[in-house]
Chain A
Amino acid sequence: MNPRAVTSDVLLGIVPIALSVALWQTIVSFGYAPVTLLPPPGHVFMRLAQQLATSEFQQEIAATLFRLFTGFSIAVILGVTVGLAAAASPAINAVVRPIVRVLAPLPKVALYPALLLLLGFGHESKITLVAADALFPILLSTYYGASMVEQKLIWSAMAAGTPRGQILFKVVLPAAVPSILTGCRIGLVISCIVVFLAEMITSTDGLGHLLVTAARTFQAVDMFVPLITISLLGLILNGLLQGLRSYLLRGFPEV
């Protein structure tokens, strides 16, 4: 794609976002919606900038990010390990597959009350929920990535004298990296969503808690701030992962 086409695409893409903000502003300024229900966008963004500078708000973000990262990391480690093991060994596959088949479509949020009762109201229950939700996309994409590795690659590695035990790490894992990263990307978005929901249900800190507190006191402006923050966080994390992806996959033909 030439740079000019990219620029025009970016410009075209900004249009609907700008339009929705403009629509938002018009609805407010023409008085279709009372300011208490729909604060003007200028107010919301001002408030966001203000809040981002305060240390309390930063602490809330830190709490959310801590849960998000811990849960996500657990999901990545577990998902990649189990996914690789299931792809490598038929016996493990026979056990893992039906369990995943049952657990993957289960709505994990419904498990949250049980996690609360078992693990308490602190970090643990939220981290477990995040990990449980992010696990399956990562596990499945690892599994599919690893089981679709070209047989020729494995044969040539064996012909070149790679010991059997090392093939998994030297051939299969690197070849499955693109697929694993796709799974991680889905898992990351899911983690963002789930950590926020868990904090909304029961929490004493974090962005989700901010939203609930604002909703209980009918502070419409403060309700928009955490929502925009989580959306920005998601975009930033996605960008970072994209960067990691192009760094890790620099030798691959198509990225």
Chain B
Amino acid sequence: MIAARALIARAAPWLACLGLLGAWQAAALIINTDSFPTAWEAIRAIPSILGDKESLINILASLRRMAIGFGAAVIVSIPLGLMMGRSRAVAAFFNPLLMVTYPVPKAALMPIIMLWLGVGDIAKMLVIFLGVSLPVIYHSFQGAKAVEEKMLWSGAAMGLWAPQRMIRIVLPAALPEILTGCRTGLVLALITMVTSEMIARQSGAGNILFNALDMGQYDTVYAMIIIIGAMGIGLDAAFENLRGRLVKWSEPGFEIPLSFA
């Protein structure tokens, strides 16, 4: 009985996928216009996109930019967030700046950054970097703030000096929260990647998507939507898996990332 229940729980997301695709298929059959192909038609267009060498290179280039932007953002943001969480002065210094920049759509900076750095990889990676940093900083900040003082005191009493306490106590204690931030950042990186490529149409998955839209290749549009959607769901699931391994000891507060845009 328990096994059957676990099986259902594991299969539920797949069933949900199938259900959504089925709903799409039904809606497309009812509406029946050229600009809304059925789910099956869209799925059939996927192999021709993934089989095409040029579009495959485009998609891989997108992923590479995303990985670099995301990696750089995580490396910079976690230490900054942890320091903000442990020092009131640092927090007071950076908080208003972050508050002001939070509602600015990072991909909207693309046209300006393009003026400075050109339409190449660097501009796009910078935009992804900016988009990912904020949630990671914010969650690391919250995580570090919530670390129990007593643990730090005992660490200090046992002769750890400040940077050691940071690495050996604050970092592991804040890790669940940091990973929540990274997960948010991951989805955000994907969104920023698509939008930045849509604004600077030069290469990448977003470029294929919006060029197909402009040229009226509706199959390709919907196939690319499925591919990008699958990337989002796949990356999120992979990250969740990794998170489960790294912080097995902590009950996940939220199963699904709460904040992203």
Q: Which residues of A contact B (CB under 8 A)?
A: 8-10, 12-17, 20, 33, 37-38, 94, 97-111, 113-114, 116-118, 133, 136-137, 140-141, 144, 183, 186, 189-190, 192-194, 196-197, 200-201, 208, 211-212, 214-215, 218, 220, 223-224, 227, 230-231, 233-235, 237-238
Contact = CB atoms under 8 A, between A and B. Distances in A.
16 contacts: A20-B97, A37-B116, A99-B16, A102-B233, A103-B20, A106-B229, A107-B194, A110-B229, A110-B232, A111-B225, A117-B218, A118-B31, A140-B254, A193-B104, A196-B108, A200-B108
- What 8 A-B pairs have minimum CB-CB distances, sorted nearest first? A234-B103, A215-B111, A190-B261, A13-B96, A105-B236, A98-B16, A98-B12, A9-B92
B260 A16 contact: no
A102 B13 contact: yes
A113 B209 contact: yes
Contacts of A137: 258-260
A109 B236 CA distance: 16
A129 B97 CA distance: 28
Contact of B232 (A105, A196, A238): A105
Contacts of A215: 111-112, 114-115
Nearest to A33: B116
The dominant DSSP class at the A interface is helix
Contacts of A105: 187, 232-233, 235-237, 256-257, 260
Contact of B228 (A103, A107, A183, A211): A107
Contacts, number: 179
B218 A230 contact: no
B257 to A, nearest CB: 7
B225 A192 contact: no
Contacts of B108: 196-197, 200, 208, 211, 227, 230
Contacts of A220: 112, 115
A214 B111 CA distance: 9
Nearest to A186: B259
A109 B191 contact: yes
A110 B225 CA distance: 6
B100 A235 contact: yes
B227 to A, nearest CB: 9
Given A109-B195, A234-B102, 4 more contacts: A12-B93, A104-B257, A193-B261, A218-B115
Interface in B207-249: 209-210, 212-213, 218, 221-222, 224-225, 228-229, 231-233, 235-237
Given A107-B187, A110-B225, A118-B36, A235 B99 contact: yes
